[in-house]
Amino acid sequence: MEDGTDLEGGADPRPKKVLVALDLGPGSGAALAVACDLARRREASVVALRAVHLNIVGEERGIPRTRLAAELVGQASEELRQFVENARPDVAVETLAREGRPANVIVSTAREIGAAAIVMRWHGLRGWRSWLHRNTASRVSKEAPCPVWLAVPGTGRASRLDGGLGMSVIEVSSRAVAHA
């Protein structure tokens, strides 16, 4: 689908979209800049996604979480909208906030919108620290229906992942990085 065709070989009727997963932590601006740069190159728009994962103990005992989840997703949606607005991207950006495990939310959203690419930021964890933390990017790269790019904050570069292995590197235009 990356080349704009569907599985039968015809043109994909959906507009091209680049999905960028943002947690609004340090380096999220770099991921948004990479997504905007890829969108410009592909004549696409950007969908900024924020996943809200609730790990609440007691749900099995009947403690309701529906209202809390709705409130947190609403708050995450507003924070994401403000983040994107403050970044002043030069391409169209739609914002979405969804509840669930980040890797699952990212992959299912990419499938739903027919994403041409997924962009995430690299947290920079290596060695034993990376072993202690779940590697969302690795899971997404193994399950994604499209290429996954990792933005490397502070470098103006992004690496394409293939099954968890870093591959081709792109230089992001200085115009895109200016807002990062």
Residue 8, domain member (yes or no): yes
pLDDT of residue 74: 93
pLDDT of residue 18: 95
Q: What is the pLDDT of residue 171?
A: 41
62 lies in the same domain as 143: no
Following CA atoms 111, 124, 177, 28 in sequence, which dihedral angle do they give, to the nearest 10 degrees? 60
Domain tally for the chain?
2
Taking only the tens of pLDDT, the chain with its 180 residues reads 444 434 344 455 557 999 999 999 888 888 898 899 889 888 999 999 999 988 766 556 655 677 778 888 999 999 999 999 998 888 999 999 999 999 999 999 999 999 999 998 876 655 555 554 567 887 888 899 998 888 876 666 566 554 433 334 444 433 333 333
Q: What is the per-residue DSSP string for the chain?
A: -TTSB-TTSSBP-SPPEEEEE---STTHHHHHHHHHHHHHHHT-EEEEEEEE----TTGGGT---HHHHHHHHHHHHHHHHHHHHHH--SS-EEEEEEES-HHHHHHHHHHHHT-SEEEEE-----HHHHHHS--HHHHHHHH-SS-EEEEETTTTEEEEEETTEEEEEEEPPHHHHTT-
Q: What is the pLDDT of residue 170?
A: 46
Q: Is residue 29 part of a domain?
A: no
Residue 134 lies in a domain: no
- Alpha carbon distance 80, 116 (integer Å): 21
- How many whole angstroms separate alpha carbon 22 and alpha carbon 110? 14
Q: Which domain holds residue 166?
A: 139-147+157-180
User: Is 35 inside any structural domain?
Assistant: no
- Determine, yes or no, domain membership for 167: yes
Residue 65 maps to a domain: yes
- At residue 158, the pLDDT reads 64
Asked if residue 37 belongs to a domain, the reply is: no
Calculate the dihedral angle through the C-alpha atoms of 75, 80, 83, 89, rounding to the nearest 10 degrees.
-150
- Please report the pLDDT score of residue 119 as a whole number: 92
CB–CB of 107/13 below 8 Å? no
Q: Which amino acid is at 124?
A: G
Please indicate, yes or no, whether residues 81 and 4 belong to a single structural domain of this protein: yes
